[in-house]
Structure 1
Amino acid sequence: MSTDRGIPAPTLKSRIHGCLLGGALGDSLGYAVEFDSIDDIRERFGARGLTGLGELSGPRHFSDDTQLTLYTVDGLVEALEWANAGVGADVNACLWLAYLRWLATQGEDAGASAPAPQPRWIDGNEVLRQRRHPDRDCISGLATGEMGTAVRPVNAGAKGPGTVMRSAPFGLIPHITPDAVYKLSADAAALTHGHPVAHQSAGIFSLLIHRLVSGEPLRDAAAAVAAHAATLPEAAPELPERLEAAIRLAEKSPGAVGKLAGPEELVQALGGGWTAEEALAVALYAVLATLPAGAADGQPDQHFRDALAVAVNHSGGSDTAGSLAGNILGALYGEACLPAEWLNDLEAPEVIRGMADQLVKVTTGEG
C-alpha cells in the first residue's frame, strides 16, 4: 500500500511520531503569528508571510494546543496500560485526570470537589508547565471540578477550538472501530466544552486521522468524513457546511500553489478558525489545496511546507489551524514529511517523541 503520491506507506510508529511532531511544528509556526492580522504578518515577513521556523528571530514555542495533545496521549496511554494489565478503566475518566494535571501546570485549581490525580512522567517536563495563552474554555471547564459529559455539559454553548486541537491522538489508536474513535473523541471534548459542534468537530477530526493512519488517500478520507458529519444524530449544521466549503474551495486549484485562495478569501469562505469547525475547515483546505496533482510532483516535506504556509498566514487562529494541518500530514506521510531544519528548531522534541513512544509501546508492544 502507498500514499496518495506513490510513496511507500509509513509504519504505524512513523505515523504516530509524524502526527504528533507535525502538529507541534504547525502549532509552533502558527503560535508565532496567532494574534497578528494578515497585514501585520506581511509587514513582518513579506508578501508570502511566515513560511518556516527559521524565519523567526526569537524563541520557537509551541502553545497549549501541543500541551493538551500530549496530555490526551497520556490519558489514553494510562487507560491502555490498565487494559493491557487486564484491568478495565474508564477512558474518559483517565483523560479527565490527565487534563486536570495539565490544569495544575497552568497554575489553576479545580477545587476541592475534583480528584487529586497521581503524577505521571509527562508532568515532570517543564516545557509543559509554561502558560502559552491557554484556551479559556478548557481552563474554565476543568476548573469547575466537574467531569462534563454530553448530557451534563460544562461550559454550555462553548464551541471554541480547544476540543479539536487536542483530538488527533484518538485517531492514532489501531484496531478499534471508527465508531469507537468518534465516541472517544466526542466524549472527551465534552469534558470542557458544551456545544455539540465542539464535540462533533473533535470526533470528525479524529476520524480523519484514523482513516489516514489506516492508509486511505487524503482526498477520499476528507470526502468521507465530510459526508459522515452530515449524518450525525443532531448534527450541528455549521460543521458539514464548513467542511464542504473547504473541499469545494480546494477543488478550484488542486495542487496549484500559485492559484490558492488568498488569506482574505480563505477567512471569508471558511471563517477565522476561532471556533472548532472553522479551525478544522481551514486546516482541511490547507492540506487539500496544496496536495500535489501527480505522484511525481514534489516531496512530502514540500507538501508540508506549502500547507502550513496556508494554514497559518491569515487573520485568524493560526496556531490551531497549523497544528491540525501538521497532524493531518504527519498521519498521512509519517515522519517523511517533516522538514529536517524545522525539526532542528522545534521546542522540546524529546518530550514529544517520548509521549509518541509511550503510545507506540501500549498499542504495538514495540519498545
Structure 2
Amino acid sequence: MSFDPGIPAPTLPSRIHGSLLGGALGDALGYAVQSDSIAGIRERFGAQGLTGFEDLEGPGRFSDDTQLTLYTVDGLVEALEWANSGVGADVNACLWLAYLRWLATQGWDAGPSAPAPQPRWIDGNEVLRQRRRPDKECLSGLATGEMGTAMRPVNPEAKGTGTVMRSAPFGLVPHITPDAVYKLSADAAALTHGHPAARQSAGIFSLLIHRLVSGEGLREAAAGVSAHAAALPDVVPELPERLEAALRLAEEAVAGPEELLQALGGGRTAEEALAVALYAVIATARAGEAEAQPVAHFRDAMLVAVNHSGASDTTGALAGNILGALYGEACLPARWLEALEAAEVIRGMADQLVKVTTGEG
C-alpha cells in the first residue's frame, strides 16, 4: 500500500491507536478459534470459516497476546517518562518490571530474588488480570526471577510466539534508528525466550512496524525486513526462509488453509507466526492499491490470518498490528470495535504512548 498523493498519510497517533487496536481485534478473532483445526472451524462456522465478530456470541475477548503487548507499552512509557524528565533509565529493566507485574496478575510469583515493582495505571484494569491461556514460556521465563539477556538467556530453547506477539510497540516509538528498534525488541524478547529465532523474529517484526510507521509501503517494508533478516549476523536460517516463502506465496493466488500450513507452518513458533501474518496482509492487498479500501483489506486479511489449524490468536494479532500501523485507525471495522472488550483500556495505553512520544494528549 502506497498512499495516493491526494490522500493524507495517517498521523502517528492514528498509527499507534490503529496498530494496538488492530492487534487486539485480530487477537480476539483468532482467540475464538485458537484451539480449533480448520475442519473444526468450518464445522462451527461454515465453509468460509469465521468471517467476523458477527459470527460470535458475546464480546470479543482478547488473549495474553494483547495483555503483554499493553504491558510492553507500559514498560516503554515508563522509560520514556524518565527520559523526558531528564533521568536515564534502563529500558529493558523497565520492560522486565512491567512483565513481572503482568506475571503477578496471572497468579505467578517470581520469587524472592526478583524486585517488587511499584503498581502503575495499567495494573488496575481487571481485564488484564484475566487468565487467557498465558504463554507458558513467558510465565516460566519470568518466574525464574532472573532478568534474561541474550548473553545469559532464560529458557534457552524457547522459540514460541511469546516474543513476536508483544513486540509491535517497539516499532511505534518515533525518532529512533532502525538498529535501535531491532535491538530494543530483541533484548526484550530475551527476558523470556532464549532461542535466537524468537529474539530475531521479534526484532524483525518490530522493524516491519517501524518501517510502516515511517511511511514505507507494505510490499517495500516487507521486502526490506526480509532482506534485513537474511543479513543478520548468526541468523537462524528458518527466519529468512519463512519470510521469503511468505512473500513468494503472497504473489500467487490466495492459498487455502491447508496449503498455508504446509508452506509456512501453523504459526506456533515465532518465525512461523510472523510469516503467516505477513502472507495474510500481502496476499489480500487489492490491485490498484492507492484506491484500496482499508476496512475491506483489514477484514480480508484477518480471515486469512485466523482461519487455519494453528496459533490463530497470534497470527491474527500480528496481522492487525501490521495493518493498523500501515493505515492508522481508518482500517478498523466499526462494528468489530464495538464488539471488542475493553477497547477503552487499549485506547488508554495508546494515549499514554502518544503523550510521551509526541507531547499530544
Which bin holds the TM-score, normalised by the shorter protein?
Answer: over 0.9
Distance change >3 Å, CA 269–CA 251, structure 1 → 2: same
Aligned equivalent of 2:80: 80
For residues 296 and 360 of structure 1, the distance between their equivalents in structure 2, rounded to whole angstroms, comes to 27
Q: 1:356 aligns with which of 336, 350, 356?
A: 350
Which shows bigger deviation, 293-302 or 208-217?
293-302
Deviation at 1:297, TM superposition (A): 4.8
User: CA offsets, 1:160-214, max 9 Å, x none?
Assistant: 0000000000000000000000000000000000000000000000000000000
Give the alignment partner of residue 274 of structure 2, picking from 267, 280, 285. 280
What CA RMSD, in Å, does the superposition of the two structures yield over aligned residues?
A: 1.2
* Alignment match, 1:173: 173
Contact kept in structure 1, 2:2 and 2:218, CA below 8 Å: no
Asked if the contact 2:212–2:326 (Cα under 8 Å) also holds between the matched residues in 1, the reply is yes
Letter in 2 for 1:323: A
Distance, in Å, in 1 between the alignment partners of 2:282 and 2:289 is: 15
What residue number does 2:258 align with?
264
Deviations 1:263-315 (A, max 9, x none): 00000000000000000000000000001110365410000000000000000
In structure 2, the partner of 1:197 is 197
Is 2:94 aligned against 1:100? no
Aligned equivalents of 2:348, 2:11: Cα separation in 1: 18
* Counterpart code for 2:332: L
Match of 1:30 in 2: 30
Provide the C-alpha distance between the structure 2 equivalents of 1:89 and 1:204, rounded to a whole number of angstroms.
24
Whole-Å Cα distance in 1 between the matches of residues 340 and 302 of structure 2?
A: 15
Q: Which residue among 296, 302, 312 is the counterpart of 2:296?
A: 302
Given that residues 2 and 9 in structure 1 are in contact (C-alpha distance below 8 angstroms), is that contact kept between their aligned partners in structure 2?
A: no
Q: Is the 8 A contact 1:5 1:296 kept in 2?
A: no
Counterpart residue identity of residue 161, structure 1: T
The alignment's TM-score, normalised by the length of structure 1, stands at 0.97
Following the alignment from structure 1 to structure 2, what is the Cα–Cα distance between the partners of residues 320 and 160?
Answer: 11
**Are the counterparts in 1 of residues 159 and 194 from structure 2 also a CA contact under 8 Å?**
yes
CA contact (8 A) 1:4 1:217 kept: no
* Paired amino acid for 1:76: L
TM-score when normalising by structure 2: 0.98
Equivalent pair of 1:189/1:199 in contact (CA under 8 Å): yes
Contact 2:2 2:290 in 1 (8 A): no
Q: Secondary structure at the match of 2:289?
A: coil
Partners of 2:288 and 2:336 in 1: CA distance: 25
Q: State the shift of 1:6 in Å.
A: 6.8
Structure 1, unmatched stretches of 5+, are 254-259
Confirm or deny that 1:325 pairs with 2:319: yes
Distance 1:189 1:198 in 2: 7
What residue in structure 1 maps to residue 161 of structure 2? 161
Matched, 1:337 2:338: no
Q: Is the 8 A contact 1:165 1:320 kept in 2?
A: yes
1:256 corresponds in structure 2 to none
Task: Indicate the residue corresponding to 1:291 in structure 2.
Answer: 285
- The SS at the match of 2:65 is helix
Matches within 5 A, 1:196-235: 196-235=196-235
Identity %: 83
Per-residue CA distance 1:49-74 (angstroms, 9 max, x = gap): 11111210244200000000000000
Matched with 1:54 is: 54
